[in-house]
C-alpha cells in the first residue's frame, strides 16, 4: 500500500496503527507536498518524516516539489478558509500524483496520513480519493484513526517521539489567514539576506532537529523544551547623509525606532561611542566592533553580507549598554559620520516561543 505522507505528527501515529492492524501489508511512504511553503519548511518536515520512517522501518519516497504547478492549480482560491475549495483542489493534485506513483510501483491501493489530522475534513479526503479510484483503478482506503480517543493518542505519540509539531497546515494562503486572525507576525516568510539564522526561525528549527537526529545516531539522551523570549525582526534599515547618499551601516539585533525614522547628528564621542542627538541612538566604528569581539571585518559591507551570529551580536550589545532589556539602535559604521543624518529603521520586537535542545 502506498501511504501519502504530509508530516511526521500525522504520519508516525497513522503508520504505527497501520502496522499494527495490517502486519502483512507492505507500506511505502510517499512524501508529496508541494503546498508546503516556504521551501525551508518543506525541508524541515521532510527531515522529520525521514527520521520517523527510519524508526518505523518504512521505505520513504519523495515526490517532486512542484510548487509553481500547485499555485496554478489553486489560483483564485487564495482566500478560501481551511477545509474550503482550495483544500479540495490541493487534495486532488496530491492524490492524483500519489495514484500515478502507486501504479508505477504496481500498488493497487493508497491512503493518506491527512485522514488523521483534526484540521482536515475526512469527507473531502474520501471524495478526492474516490474520484481517483474511478479514474485510475487505485483504491483509496479511508482509515479513521481519529475515533475512540485516536486524536488524544496521536498527541501522546507526538510528545513521546519528540516530533516536530508545526502550527500551520503548510500552504502560504492558510498561513496568511491564520496569522491575520491571530494578529501575529508571519515571520515564517522572513529570511535574512545575509543568511544569518534568526531566533525561532524555520532555519533555526531545522538545525536543531538535525542535531537531534545526530544525537540519536550516537545514542545520546536529549530533551526538547520550549522557552518564551522577546523576538526581533528587522525589515528595513538605511543610513542617509545630508547629501542624500546611502552610508554603509549595520544595525545590531534589537535596534528599534518608535517612528521608524530619525534625523539629527552625532552630538559627541565618549569611550568609542558616538551619541546621536535623537532617539538614544549610538554609533560605533567597525574597528571598535572588531577589537571588542575579536573579528576581522575589513569594511561594513562585509559585515552586512556576512554577519556574526545573533548571540555574538547580543554579547557586543551588552558591552555597549547597561540595561538588560535595551532596545537602543546601535549602528556600526566604517567611520563616525560628521554630518546631518537620516536613519530609517523598520523593525519589530514581539513575544515568541522557541524550541531548545537539552542534552541529558
**56: in domain:** yes
Q: Which domain holds residue 314?
A: 230-359
Query: Is the domain of 136 the same as that of 19?
Result: yes
- Rounded distance, CA 23 to CA 307, Å? 53
The percent of residues in the chain predicted with pLDDT above 70, rounded, is 100
Query: Is the domain of 185 the same as that of 247?
Result: no
Would you state the cell numbers that stand for residue 6, as one nine-digit string? 504530509
**313: in domain:** yes
* Residue 135's pLDDT band (cuts 50, 70, 90): confident
Residue 193 has pLDDT above 90, yes or no: no
* Residue 318's pLDDT band (cuts 50, 70, 90): very high
Report residue 247 CA to chain centroid gap.
Answer: 32
Query: Is the domain of 240 the same as that of 328?
Result: yes
**6: in domain:** yes
- Please count the structural domains in the chain: 2
> pLDDT higher for 134 or 34?
34
**What pLDDT is attached to residue 192?**
83
**What pLDDT is attached to residue 42?**
97
**What pLDDT is attached to residue 316?**
96
Question: Cis omega before residue 196 (within 30°)?
Answer: no
Answer with the one of 133, 160, 189 that is the final residue of a domain: 189
**87: in domain:** yes
**What pLDDT is attached to residue 317?**
96
Query: Is the domain of 314 the same as that of 172?
Result: no
**What pLDDT is attached to residue 250?**
98
Residue 130 has pLDDT above 90, yes or no: no
pLDDT in tens, 60-71: 999 999 999 999
195-232 CB burial, b ≥16 within 10 A, e <16:
ebbbbbbbbbbbebbeebeeeeeeeeeeebeeeeeebb
**What pLDDT is attached to residue 34?**
97
Answer with the one of 189, 222, 244 that is the final residue of a domain: 189
Query: Is the domain of 177 the same as that of 235?
Result: no
**206: in domain:** no
Query: Is the domain of 167 the same as that of 247?
Result: no
**66: in domain:** yes
**What pLDDT is attached to residue 134?**
84
Answer with the one of 136, 156, 189 that is the final residue of a domain: 189
Q: 276 — phi, psi (to 5°)?
A: -75, 150
pLDDT in tens, 39-49: 999 999 999 99
Amino acid at each position: 500500500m502506498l501511504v501519502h505522507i504530509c508530516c511526521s505528527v500525522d504520519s508516525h501515529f497513522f503508520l504505527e496503527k497501520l502496522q499494527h492492524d495490517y502486519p502483512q501489508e507492505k507500506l511505502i511512504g510517499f512524501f508529496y507536498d508541494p503546498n508546503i511553503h516556504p521551501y525551508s519548511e518543506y525541508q524541515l518536515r521532510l527531515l522529520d518524516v525521514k527520521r520517523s520512517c527510519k524508526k518505523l522501518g518504512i521505505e520513504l519516497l519523495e515526490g517532486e516539489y512542484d510548487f509553481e504547478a500547485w499555485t496554478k492549480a489553486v489560483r483564485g482560491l487564495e482566500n478560501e478558509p481551511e477545509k474550503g475549495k482550495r483544500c479540495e483542489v490541493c487534495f486532488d493534485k496530491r492524490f492524483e500524483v500519489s495514484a500515478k506513483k502507486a501504479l508505477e510501483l504496481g500498488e493497487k491501493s493508497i491512503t493518506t496520513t491527512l485522514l488523521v489530522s483534526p484540521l482536515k475534513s475526512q469527507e473531502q479526503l474520501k471524495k478526492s480519493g474516490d474520484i481517483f479510484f474511478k479514474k485510475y483503478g487505485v483504491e483509496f482506503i479511508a482509515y479513521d484513526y481519529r475515533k475512540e480517543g485516536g486524536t488524544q493518542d496521536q498527541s501522546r505519540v507526538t510528545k513521546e517521539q519528540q516530533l516536530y509539531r508545526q502550527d500551520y497546515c503548510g500552504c502560504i494562503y492558510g498561513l496568511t489567514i491564520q496569522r491575520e486572525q491571530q494578529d501575529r507576525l508571519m515571520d515564517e516568510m522572513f529570511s535574512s539576506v545575509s543568511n544569518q539564522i534568526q531566533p525561532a526561525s524555520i532555519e533555526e528549527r531545522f538545525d536543531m532537529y538535525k542535531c537531534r537526529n545526530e544525537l540519536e545516531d550516537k545514542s545520546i539522551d536529549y530533551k526538547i523544551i520550549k522557552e518564551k523570549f522577546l523576538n526581533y525582526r528587522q525589515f528595513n534599515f538605511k543610513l542617509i547623509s545630508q547629501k542624500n547618499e546611502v552610508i554603509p551601516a549595520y544595525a545590531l539585533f534589537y535596534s528599534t525606532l518608535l517612528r521608524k525614522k530619525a534625523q539629527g547628528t552625532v552630538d559627541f564621542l565618549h569611550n568609542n561611542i558616538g551619541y546621536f542627538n535623537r532617539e538614544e541612538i549610538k554609533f560605533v566604528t567597525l574597528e571598535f566592533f572588531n577589537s571588542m569581539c575579536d573579528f576581522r571585518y575589513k569594511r561594513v559591507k562585509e559585515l552586512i553580507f556576512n554577519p556574526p551570529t545573533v548571540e555574538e551580536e547580543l554579547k557586543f550589545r551588552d558591552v555597549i549598554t547597561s540595561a538588560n532589556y535595551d532596545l537602543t539602535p546601535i549602528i556600526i559604521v566604517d567611520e563616525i559620520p560628521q554630518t546631518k543624518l537620516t536613519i530609517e529603521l523598520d523593525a519589530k520586537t514581539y513575544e515568541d516561543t522557541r524550541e531548545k535542545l537539552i542534552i541529558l
